[in-house]
A and B are shown apart, each in its own frame.
Chain A
Amino acid sequence: MLVNQFLFLAAILFCIGVYGVVARKNAVLVLMSIELILNAVNLNLVAFSLRNGSVDGQTFALYVIAVAAAEVGVGLSLVLLIYRNRRSISLDDLSEMKG
């Protein structure tokens, strides 16, 4: 197994996630794309853990998983609040910050 095959897979997943964040309008789908990005990072961390023969990468990956779970919880409750106030979770409608 090459080191690069895992790193390239993670890079592809990361770029698909970036495309999803840019292209999607539905807030739940944007959160899913962010999950893709976080998983790509985790794959990198675990791959480097094997390459370097050290457990640190796996520890970091576990921490990232925990932070991602917290992020999804808060993110979805924000989406729920936006939906309750505006009857829509389209990110195009949230344009108050535009000057």
Chain B
Amino acid sequence: MLVAQNIGFTIIALMMIVGALRVVTTSNVVHAALWLVVVLAGVAAQYLLLAAEFVAVTQVLVYIGAVMVLFLFGTMLTRSRIGRQGDLNNSYWKLGIPVALIVFAAMALALANSFGTEKMPSDAAVVNTQQVSDQIFGPYLLPFWALSFVLLAAVIGAIVLARKD
């Protein structure tokens, strides 16, 4: 069981890393969006491995369903031609490589020192939706209300910004 989990994790993780690298290196905006789907689906699969069913389903619905359509519409509305195009990187893009490597080195050092070879609890039960909703509508009710207003404000703001007048 544990071996199967580790094999699954490795395959999905490699897929996600390749997808993420293609998102930031490809020279076609639509291809970047489609590679992003690979990464987001991989994240949903990792949630399943982490016994978080409801978060995985939400990830698929919200990210792959809604956010991705938004990205494709954004690409469509802001590009006269969809296809390969040269300069998607800015002139100092090489600066990004050392920045990312330094950030990763710092995080890797901190993670290796703090968690080492600590294992996940192997007897963890799958968290069902009832437990999640008990948390949302119990101790975290106030942030839930705040989040409702954030979404309302975002919807109104997006309409106000994007409409033609």
Contacts and interface: CB of A to CB of B under 8 A. Distances in A.
A65 B62 contact: yes
A80 B23 contact: no
How many chain A residues sit at the interface, stated as a range, is: 35 or more
A45 B94 CA distance: 31
Given A17-B20, A20-B23, A58-B52, A4 B147 contact: no
Contacts of A7: 111, 115
Given A31-B71, A58-B55, A59-B132, A83 B78 contact: yes
Contacts of B24: 16-17, 19-20, 23-24, 29, 33, 36
A71 to B, nearest CB: 8
A13 B100 CA distance: 10
Interface of chain B, main secondary structure:
helix
Contacts of A15: 100-101, 103-104, 107
> Which bucket holds chain B's interface residue count?
35 or more
Task: Please report whether the interface of chain A is mostly helix, strand, loop or mixed according to DSSP.
Answer: helix
A8 B136 CA distance: 28
Interface in B69-90: 70-71, 73-75, 77-78, 87-90
B99 interface: yes
Interface in B1-51: 2, 5-6, 9, 13, 16-17, 20-21, 23-24, 29, 32-33, 36, 39-40, 43, 46-47, 49-51
Contacts of B17: 9, 12-13, 16
A39 B63 CA distance: 10
